[in-house]
Amino acid sequence: MPEIKLFVDTKADIQNKVLISTSNAEKLGITGQAQAEIVNPDNDKKIQTTVEASEQVLDFAGKFAKNVLDQLAFSGVELIVRSLGGQSSAQPSPAETQPQKAPQTPQRKAPPPRPQQPPSSMPKPQGIPQPTPPKPPRTPGAPSTPPQQMPSPPKQHIPGQGQPSQVPQPSGPGGMQAAQPEEIDPYPNRIDPSRLRDQKDGIILKPVVSSNVEGGRVHLSGNVLQQLGLGHGMLIGWEDPLTRSEGSARITQAQINDNEIRMSKDTKEDTFIKADNIVVYSTEPPIKKASEISLEVQSQPEMMGYCLVSPRTQHTLSLNKDDVVAFEDELTAATGAAKVDISEDVDDNVIIIDSEILEASGIGSFEVKVSKNQRKILPLQSVSLGISPITGENMWELISTARENAQALKDWLSNYIIFKGIKLRWKSVNLACSIVDCVPDLTGDILAQITENTTLNLSPQGLVPFNAILIIDISRSMMARDVFVTNIAPAIEGIKAAMESREIQEFLKKFKDGVNIPRRISAAFAAVLFLSEKVGRGFGEKVSVIRFADEAQILPFGNSYYMDSASGKKGVLEDAARMIVDRIGNAYGQATNMGDAMLKARSVLNEFENMNPDQPTMIVLLTDGMPTDGNKFFEEIQKFSGNPNVVIYILGLGNPEDELMERAAKLCGGEYFKPDDAGELLVWYSKRARDLTVKMKAHK
């Protein structure tokens, strides 16, 4: 059976009928109207209905009654019309057009003769005289028809007989239908959608109005964008094959059907879309994919480590938002990197770079070579930041502020791609920072990023005076002889040169290379070295020493509880060293009352803060065991953790409770360290005397 596939045009004023063009009717063998089978190819539903030929229908489409479409559950674009072979003519049969003769009237006696009337040109009707019906007006242009015989008058009703049948009246002269005026096509410039698609090199889509689409934009699926060679933010155009009206808009990529283009109601009305399907095409020059392109450089402040490119650049380099791009100054070989964002306001030949990144990279040219970064961005394990104020000199206040806002600092830094030599400024908090060191290190063109798991170490860029409290364990276990002497010659020579007393010289003789010494002896040496470094700095820093075992004691420095490193009195350092050697190197107890020692340290801290509230204090705890006074130690640690002017470092010898010590140091911005030998112990203490670094761990 012959069949044709047609685009669907809904016609609301017909029922159970389909109108097709006369040429399509000929293909199906239909000359007037006939029953045919309508098939929905999307769901294979079929119905039979009347199909009628019409000169007002185009060859590529059919006009379908709405109830026919509902029965087929139609929601697509095309339907199939299939001939069933039988047909019925649309012309009325002769029996329908020829008026029936009225039945003969029964014969009656003729009436008496009447006077003769003048002759008339009108013939007399047969039977009972009837008035002549008015002649219907002649339709202009209609051919004249010969006069028809007047029908006989209807039979009179005789009681007891049935009602006589009514004679059908002709609807026009000669019983023919009056001709209707020809219908005017409202879309005289219409074009076949397939032909228009080929002309525009586009695709056919169904326009769908959606309240989720803002004016001036349309939504398209990713597959459609790929087919058109376009991307989010670029421009498309469309044309209606009925009205031939055109429109254009920016694209928003969305999760929609591949056969749809979604738009606002205003967009559809303003561009006069009437067809069920329109042709959509690209208005942009073809995109040529590239691995790198040259772009003009513009800078913009407060971009939080980002750069901006146009949608065309995005698709040329195959970029997505938050991808990383690298840029290189071909004149100076300076390089940099940044996360990318897409802006429709950026010219296609321009890249806008955060001014901080541009300055840090050293790029000075007006044009850079831009490429998508193909290397993995390394997550940094730890970063040492050199901190300084952008303006002013209050270094420690800045460190304290950063410490109190550790998460905000990390969030700010995580916006930036970290590369070798980068320097950044957080202007809202007056903070400038540079990468002093990091793990892993940045060599060559390695790019890295600060994450939630990165440990930040804040080191002042410049001298920051700070007081210190040294807390030393002298419990019985500290007499264990297991600290190996190695790599301490520089420390011994430094102490010998600074102190000439016999007691100190004899003390130093115990440190022979390659032997093990008691833990308490190595602790005493570390404390003496720390005092020596503080005196050498000459900033007037104060150092207090607390020993603890069964109880905690603050060691006296003359009549004071601390040593003033800038007192200027002769022999102050040697007196302090002899006291430490005697009270620590030659003493021991039984218990490890660590909580009591921290309580004593808090009383010393209060005195330091009374003298200078803004000066920071470092507390250094050396121990080889675990607290024997319950939770008192950690309770005191928690009190210290709320003070931004305190940093606590802990050094472990032997077998202390590592997990507890690690946790305590992290809470207070310091670190927990276990040296392998006496050399590492002394180097660590020497560095602590000179360097107040705040460590902000990823997880507390």
Amino acid at the residue 384: S
Q: What is the DSSP string of 32-98?
A: SEEEEEEEETTTTEEEEEEEEE-TTS-TTEEEEEHHHHHHTT--SSEEEEEE-S--B-SSPPHHHHS
Whether 166 has a pLDDT exceeding 60, the answer reads: no
| Mean pLDDT along residues 271-288 | 92
* pLDDT tens digits for range 184-199: 888 889 999 999 999 9
478 secondary structure, DSSP code = G
Residue 662, pLDDT score: 94
157 secondary structure, DSSP code = P
For tokens 């009436």, name the residue: 111
| Mean pLDDT along residues 335-342 | 93
Residue 185, pLDDT score: 83
Q: What is the DSSP string of 516-532?
A: EEEHHHHHHHHHHHHHH
Note whether 618 and 533 are within 8 A (CB): no
Whether 141 has a pLDDT exceeding 70, the answer reads: no
* pLDDT tens digits for range 451-486: 999 999 998 888 889 999 999 999 999 999 999 999
Structure tokens at 388: 């300084």
Whether 180 has a pLDDT exceeding 70, the answer reads: no
* pLDDT tens digits for range 419-429: 888 889 888 88
Strand-pair category, 542-548 with 563-564: antiparallel
Note whether 297 and 367 are within 8 A (CB): yes
For tokens 């059976």, name the residue: 1
Confidence of residue 160 (pLDDT cuts 50, 70, 90): very low
| Mean pLDDT along residues 157-170 | 45
* pLDDT tens digits for range 374-407: 888 999 999 999 999 988 878 888 888 888 888 8
Coil, strand or helix at 533: helix
Coil, strand or helix at 352: strand
Strand-pair category, 78-83 with 3-11: antiparallel
Residue 60, pLDDT score: 82
Residue 100, pLDDT score: 43
Residue 110, pLDDT score: 43
* pLDDT tens digits for range 108-122: 444 444 444 444 444
The angle at the Cα of 684, spanning 679 to 685, to the nearest 5 degrees, equals 105
Report the alpha-carbon distance of residue 131 to residue 119 in Å, rounded: 18
What is the distance, to the nearest Å, from the Cα of residue 184 to the centroid of all Cα atoms in its chain?
A: 53
Mean pLDDT of all residues in the chain? 84
Helices marked H in 230-369: 265-270, 311-316, 355-361
| Mean pLDDT along residues 438-455 | 88
Coil, strand or helix at 231: coil
Residue ranges and CATH numbers for the domains of the chain are 3-83 (2.40.40.20), 193-282 (2.40.40.20), 292-372 (2.40.40.20), 378-460 (3.10.330.10), 467-696 (3.40.50.410)
Residue 82, pLDDT score: 92
